[in-house]
A = this chain, B = another copy of it.
Amino acid sequence: MPSTNGSIASTSRAPHSRLTTISSHVSSKPSKVVVCRDLGPDVMPILTERKDLEVVLWPEDRACEREWLLKNIKGAAGVLVMITDIVNEEFLETAGPNLRVVSTMSVGYEHVDLKQIAKRGLRLGYTPAVLTDAVADISIMLALMAGRNVNETMAIVREGQWPKFTWSPFAMCGPQISTTAHSPSRTIGFLGFGRISQATLSRAVSFGVTDCIYHSNPSSPPKLERDQAILKQHQPQLKSLRSVDLDTLARESDVVIVLAPGGEKTKHIINEEFLRKMKKHAVLVNAARGTLVDSDALAKALREKWIWGAGLDVIEGEPNISADHPLLKEPRCNIVPHIGSATFETRLGMATLAADNVVGGILGDKMPAELDLSS
């Protein structure tokens, strides 16, 4: 468990990082790196203890102000940003010709203008893979919560209604995610079938899931060999693994888990049409980006019981979700505030990777996770 209470002292470099060093990679003057958020005492030393770097750190415990950022990135060789920092032409122009690398502490890069990065010959670091397990964990958690009516039943306890609640053989029941003697097969369906979906499938198989279907970018070539290997890994419990069209995904899944990229191409891919095709006892989980699911359609689906329940880590328009949002009126909608990667272990891993990326980019070395801008 890393300590998160400490913080480094100033907005600028540690005293020893002012020292001039001789290096084959950088000029004798330390390279400026702007860090848009304190990464904590376990990670900041990766930057502050280097004599070839001059660290300029946004001092507040909140998102970096644009004005401060634009003022400080002038002449920077590297900038370490969060998902809240927009990296556009203005940003890159202001930073100027010394800039070599932008490193974002996120798996997504919707806030970065990739064309501008490529045009200027810059490098972009991001933090994939490290959050795979944390997000797979929360995907399973949300599927279980949606099936077991957690939002509804926790409210019964919280509001002191438990004493009045009448037990009956089927009271508070929901559909079981795991298989039983009475229902020995279960199909999990993924929208998107990358690393996180695969890690989620590994977990789901241990709950007795027997079949997996997925729908991914139709323009990508089929990955038969990969799928064969995944199926083999989970046999004999897993009986089948297939790439399907959206219609089949909706109709056949007992659990639909959305783990695809956001953006215009996937906007509202889970819409009224999709939700109407789902099984009545199926649950929907979104642990990807809010834009993939049409919130109004989902609220309607829950209200009119087209599906059993939902578990959401993300909602379109977040964090501006007020208490009167339509989805908050649905007792079968279980919502957490985008905490998919919010574990100490994972955020520490992301921060470390983001710091290592910016160092590699500034030095002209290998970056542990660099986005391929050629595609």
Q: How far is the CA of A136 from the CA of B165 in the complex (A)?
A: 24
From A25-33, A93-101, A224-232, A331-339, the one touching the partner chain is A331-339
- Contact present for B138 and A343 (CB under 8 Å): no
Per a CB cutoff under 8 Å, which of B1, B154, B182, B202 touches A280? B1
Give the total of A residues in contact with B, Cβ under 8 Å: 88
- Contact present for A148 and B154 (CB under 8 Å): no
Query: For the complex, is A9 an interface residue (Cβ under 8 Å from B)?
Result: no
Known: A141-B141, A148-B138, A321-B162. A170 touches B347 (CB 8 A): yes
Nearest chain-B residue to A39 (Cβ)?
A: B169
Q: How far is the CB of A209 from chain B (nearest CB, A)?
A: 11
Q: How far is the CA of A344 from the CA of B351 in the complex (A)?
A: 44
- Contact present for A349 and B180 (CB under 8 Å): yes
Query: For the complex, is A40 an interface residue (Cβ under 8 Å from B)?
Result: yes
Q: When each residue 152-187 of chain A gets 1 if its CB lies under 8 Å from chain B and 0 otherwise, what string results?
A: 011011111011011111111111111111110000
Give me the interface of A with B, judged by CB distance under 8 Å: 1-2, 4, 37-40, 61-63, 82, 84, 105, 130, 133-134, 136-138, 140-141, 144-145, 147-151, 153-154, 156-160, 162-163, 165-183, 202-203, 205-208, 280-281, 318-324, 328, 334-337, 339, 342-352
Q: How far is the CB of A86 from chain B (nearest CB, A)?
A: 15
Q: How far is the CA of A244 from the CA of B294 in the complex (A)?
A: 51
Per a CB cutoff under 8 Å, which of B40, B166, B180 touches A130? B180
- Contact present for A130 and B181 (CB under 8 Å): yes
- Contact present for B281 and A1 (CB under 8 Å): yes
Per a CB cutoff under 8 Å, which of B137, B145, B149, B350 touches A207? B137
